[in-house]
Structure 1
Amino acid sequence: MKTIIFYIVLASFGLATQLSQAQTDSTAVETKKEYLQEQREKIIQEEKDKLRAKIERINERLDEGEITKEKAEMLKKEAAELHALNIENRVAILENEYEFNARNEEDKGGFIGMGDNKVLTFQVNAERNRKYDKRTTSDIVLAAGFNNATAEGQSLNDSDFKIGGSRFFEIGWAWKTRVFDNSNWVRLKYGFSFQFNGLKPTDNRYFVNNDDMIALEKFDYDLDKSKFRMDNLVVPIHFEFGPSERRETEKTLRFSTEDKFKIGLGGYAGFGIGERQKLKYSVDGDKQKDKLKADYNRNDLVYGLSAYMGWGGAALYAKYDLNPVFKDQPTDLHNFSIGLRFDVD
């Protein structure tokens, strides 16, 4: 058994030497050392178990008189040498495959393992692959506030819709790209958004389609709620202006607009993806709720002007539909919104 212990210790010492020579940077070294230490222990245990099983079979043969004591000792020594070399070779394969994957893996990631077994995924040279000048960033856009619609020459005070009760909500994704190489004063902001515009008619009225003529008419019962909602999918594009902080290191160049004034001017274009009307009322004490999804002859194309002005990630926001809400009407109705906009990194 002294011979067995000698070879196991010898293989383990050789592995420890290989580990000490494989260090590159502190983070990578710790990850590699932890993984290889775990695999080293696993390999040693597996080979010990195999060696132990062989020795048990050799002892059985000796007890049964199939071999002599000298033959048994020779077979045990050969088995110990075999499994000690197995440890050394398996560890060498493990280290070589690790180095190969780390050297040849493109982009960010890879794996280490034995043969076809991918044991651990890891990050390779993240700092080296980090882009020095990141001119384009992205964020989530959220906006909400008051919505309304007026005809040409009509003031908001004469609107057919409740000023406080009509609201809008917008959610989308936007990219922001620096226009000039060495200045971030002008940025192009673009993306896509879902708009949900609501109109609540006044004076107990609701929308009715009379041969494609859309009109507001009195409802037969007292309405607890009358709401017309228009859903759009649009592509907003804005030129954003404002100062930013230049943050430059040896490895990166970034421009931050955190806590900086900004103003955005632009517009949007897209198409309507649905409209519906919701009515709530009571008949002889029984509450009724109608959801009407009829054809309201709405314009399929949606386009307009929009602007925002604010500080950091929050801004005042306004948008105005240049397209009429309904097609081919005697009087064109245009939807507009005012509220708050948040650009969430």
Structure 2
Amino acid sequence: MRIIILTIATAILTLLSRPAFSQETRPTSEKDTISVQNRIKTLETEKARQIALEKQDLKEKISNVEEQLAANEINKEEAEALKMDFAKAAAKNIENRSAIIDNQIALLARNEDINVEDSSFKLVFNTDSGRFFGFEFENNNDTVLKVKYDIRTTSSLLIAAGLNNAIIEGQSLEDSPYKIGGSRFFEIGWVWKTRVFEQSNWLRFNYGFSFQFNGLKMEDNQYFVERGDQTVLETFPLDLDKSKLRFDNFVIPLHFEIGTSEKVVKEDRIRYKTDHKFKLGLGGYAGLNLKTIQKLKYEEDGNDRKDKLKRNYNTNNFIYGLSGYVGLDNFSVYLKYDLNTIFKDNPVDERNVSLGVRFDL
């Protein structure tokens, strides 16, 4: 299947590349033909070298199996099975590597009339093992065919939840009029993560969009009332079973994320795996308040009442703040803090703060 895919890709890319080579029609010179032939010889030499490397690698693996058998670490049946597996893998590797080079030879042979003086060609290797990795063939600085590739941007579902409260000017959280355990937040969105550097994954840029639902549950039978340009807490005339103010926000989160990763190099691609790896993200967010709702639950004249009051409550419409997370793999501890005040014109500033867990799924 890989040979078929490579053949089809080579054919398509050859067709796409023809306009770049036919900008100026000129006869094929003897010099061009010799240059192409030299490149074909280089590829044939590399093909032979790769086959020799695979055979040498197989020889070393079989020798290691013989040593394990002699030391009674494995039995004869296990040794034979290992030898067979190694032999099959080596044969498949030779087949795949040969197919890649054979396709490049065929490409050069079909295009002997290209302007080789304006072209560049190089083999690409895995620098750790010396194995043939792919090839690049360029004309007038435009890459025509490149087998080597990697993924630079990934995306994931963002889900976060935890405790919510407000930092009030001149007060500590212990004196907060909002319940510590009863005030919560929830966030859901979609984020993209892009490696900042092409050849490294230690620094990533994390960005996207999300919906934040921040709730404040009031203590001592209090609820919010608009008094002109200010929003104040007052005692409700009846016994409240529930009193909660919720802010629904749409924000754009932006973070720079640093962390470790495992670089995985294969024949046709590079991957950076962050499974079970440390990460630290620092940044912020900005957006809009979509809706503010106050929910009151109480009993009146023997009847249960549930009021859902959708009002402005003099809240700030523009939301912005700082946020960060630290964790492993897809899980992290998450902290966010609004730099904008909750209410526009209140004499005492209040700013929303949240602490919870975050999942990038």
For this structure pair, what is the TM-score category when the shorter chain's length is used for normalisation?
0.5 to 0.7
In 2, the alpha carbon distance for the partners of 1:308 and 1:134 equals 24
Aligned counterparts, 1:195-274, within 5 A: 195-274=212-291
- Report the Cα offset of residue 26 of structure 1: 6.8
Structure 2 residue aligned with 1:141: 158
Matched, 1:342 2:359: yes
1:258-281: per-residue Cα shift (whole Å, max 9, x none)?
A: 100111111001111111011000
Cα pair distance change 1:129/1:166, threshold 3 Å: farther
Partner of 2:181: 164
Q: Give a deviation string over 1:49-89, Cα, whole Å, max 9, x none.
A: xxxxxxxxxxxxxxxxxxxxxxxxxxxxxxxxxxxxxxxxx
Aligned positions of 1:1-345 closer than 5 A = 25=3, 132-344=149-361
Residue segments in structure 1 that go unaligned for 5+ positions in a row? 1-22, 29-98, 108-127
1:320 match: secondary structure:
strand
Percent identical pairs in the alignment equals: 57
Q: Tell me, what secondary structure is at the counterpart of 1:161?
A: coil
| Cα separation, 2, equivalents of 1:269 and 1:130 | 40
Q: Deviations over 1:106-159 (max 9, x none)?
A: 99xxxxxxxxxxxxxxxxxxxx99981211111010000000012123111011
In structure 1, C-alpha distance between the alignment counterparts of 2:2 and 2:223, rounded to whole Å: 73
With over 3 angstroms needed to count, the CA separation of the structure-2 counterparts of 1:26 and 1:289, relative to structure 1, is: same
Deviation at 1:328, TM superposition (A): 1.5
The question of whether the paired residues in 2 share the 8 Å contact of 1:209 and 1:295 is answered with: no
Runs (4+) off by over 2 Å: 23-28, 128-131
Deviations 1:238-274 (A, max 9, x none): 1111110001112111111110011111100111111
Paired with 2:165 and 2:235, the residues of 1 have a C-alpha distance of 19
Alpha-carbon distance in structure 2 between the residues aligned to 1:103 and 1:321: 52
Where 1:309 maps in the other structure, the secondary structure is strand
Larger Rg belongs to: 1
Give the whole-Å Cα distance in 1 for the aligned partners of 2:176 and 2:2.
71
Q: Distance in 1 between matches of 2:234 and 2:322?
A: 30
What TM-score, normalized to structure 2?
0.60
In 2, distance between residues paired with 1:205 and 1:24? 69
Local SS of the residue matching 1:317: strand
Q: CA RMSD in A?
A: 2.7
Is the CA contact (8 Å cut-off) linking 1:322 and 1:334 kept in structure 2? yes
Q: Are the aligned partners of 1:189 and 1:239 in contact in 2 as well (CA < 8 Å)?
A: yes
- How many Å separate the matches in 2 of 1:137 and 1:276? 35
Question: 2: distance between equivalents of 1:214 and 1:269?
Answer: 23
Long gaps (5+) in structure 2: 17-144
CA contact (8 A) 1:234 1:271 kept: yes
1:222 corresponds to which letter in structure 2?
D
Partner SS state of residue 157, structure 1: helix
Relative to structure 1, the CA distance from residue 137 to residue 297 in structure 2 (aligned partners, 3 Å threshold; closer, same or farther) is: same
Cα–Cα, structure 1 residues 176 and 232, in superposed 2: closer, same or farther, change >3 Å? same
Report the 3-state secondary structure (helix = DSSP H, G, I; strand = E; otherwise coil) of the residue aligned with 2:344: coil
Shift of 1:27: 8.7
**What letter matches 1:195 in structure 2?**
Q
Q: In the alignment, is the contact (CA less than 8 A) between 1:317 and 1:341 conserved in 2? A: yes
Instruction: Provide the TM-score with structure 1 as the length reference.
Output: 0.63
Cα distance change of structure 1 residues 269 and 24 upon mapping to structure 2, 3 Å threshold: closer
Tell me by how many angstroms 1:285 deviates: 1.8
Q: Distance in 2 between matches of 1:218 and 1:131?
A: 68
